[in-house]
C-alpha cells in the first residue's frame, strides 16, 4: 500500500458509514477514499422486492455505472438487498452515481429503501478477498432463490388453472 494512501486510511478511523450505523444519529459526511474500492449495500424495505426484476436492475446498475465512470468490480442482487463493490474516480462522480442509482431504482422499479446506503472502504487485500467471496456467495444464493421463486409461481398458476377451468 502506498504511504500516502495508508495515511489517509489511518486518518479515517473507520470508513464504514450508513445503514443501521446511522440510526438515531445526526447527518454526517460520508468518508470515502477514491483510491480504494468501496463496499456498498442497499437495503430494500420489502422482502423479495428485488428478485423478480433482478436482471433488469443489474443491467440498469451496470449501464448507469459505465455512463458515470464507476467501475463495478462485484455485484449481487438478493431478495431484499444489493451488494456492490464500485470503484469511483472521484468523490463527485460517486455522489452523482449513488444519488442517481437510488433515485432511479425507486422511480423505475418501485423500490423503497429501508436505510441509507451502507458504505465501507475496502482497506486491505484480505478484506477485498473476503468481500468478493461474500458477494459471490450472495449472488449464488439469490440465483437459487430466483429459480425457486419462478418454480413456485408456475406451480401456483397451474393450480389456479386446475381450480378454475
**Which pTM was predicted?**
0.72
Identify the pLDDT of residue 29: 53
Contact 112/44 with Cβ under 8 angstroms? yes
CA distance 126 to 134: 12
Identify the pLDDT of residue 59: 96
Q: 3-163: CATH homologous superfamily?
A: Transposase IS200-like (3.30.70.1290)
Identify the pLDDT of residue 85: 93
Domain ranges in the chain are 3-163
Contact 60/120 with Cβ under 8 angstroms? no
Identify the pLDDT of residue 148: 81
Contact 52/150 with Cβ under 8 angstroms? no
SS3 annotation, the chain: CCHHHHHHHHHCCCCCECHHHHCCCCCCCCCCCCCCCEEEEEEECCCCCCHHHHHHHHHHHHHHHHHCCEEEEEEEECCCEEEEEEEECCHHHHHHHHHHHHHHHHHHHCCCECCCCEEEECCCHHHHHHHHHHHHHHHHHHHHHHHHHHHHHHHHHHHHHHHCC
- Would you give per-residue pLDDT tens digits along the chain (165 residues)? 555 544 444 434 355 545 444 455 555 555 567 778 889 999 998 876 788 888 999 999 999 999 999 999 999 998 889 999 999 888 888 889 999 999 999 999 999 898 888 888 888 889 899 999 999 998 888 888 878 877 888 888 888 888 886
Q: What is the CA radius of gyration of the chain?
A: 18
Amino acid at each position: 500500500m502506498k504511504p500516502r494512501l495508508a495515511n489517509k486510511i489511518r486518518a479515517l478511523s473507520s470508513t464504514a458509514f450508513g445503514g443501521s450505523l446511522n440510526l438515531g444519529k445526526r447527518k454526517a459526511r460520508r468518508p470515502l477514499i477514491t483510491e480504494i474500492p468501496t463496499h456498498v449495500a442497499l437495503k430494500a424495505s420489502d422482502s423479495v422486492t428485488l428478485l423478480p426484476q433482478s436482471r433488469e436492475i443489474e443491467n440498469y446498475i451496470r449501464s448507469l455505472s459505465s455512463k458515470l465512470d464507476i467501475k463495478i468490480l462485484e455485484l449481487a442482487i438478493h431478495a431484499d438487498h444489493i451488494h456492490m463493490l464500485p470503484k469511483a474516480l472521484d468523490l463527485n462522480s460517486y455522489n452523482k452515481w449513488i444519488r442517481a442509482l437510488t433515485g432511479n431504482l425507486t422511480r423505475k422499479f418501485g423500490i423503497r429503501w429501508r436505510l441509507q446506503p451502507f458504505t465501507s472502504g475496502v482497506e486491505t487485500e484480505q478484506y477485498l478477498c473476503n468481500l468478493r467471496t461474500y458477494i459471490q456467495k450472495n449472488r449464488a444464493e439469490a440465483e437459487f432463490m430466483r429459480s425457486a421463486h419462478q418454480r413456485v409461481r408456475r406451480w401456483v398458476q397451474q393450480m389456479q388453472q386446475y381450480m378454475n377451468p
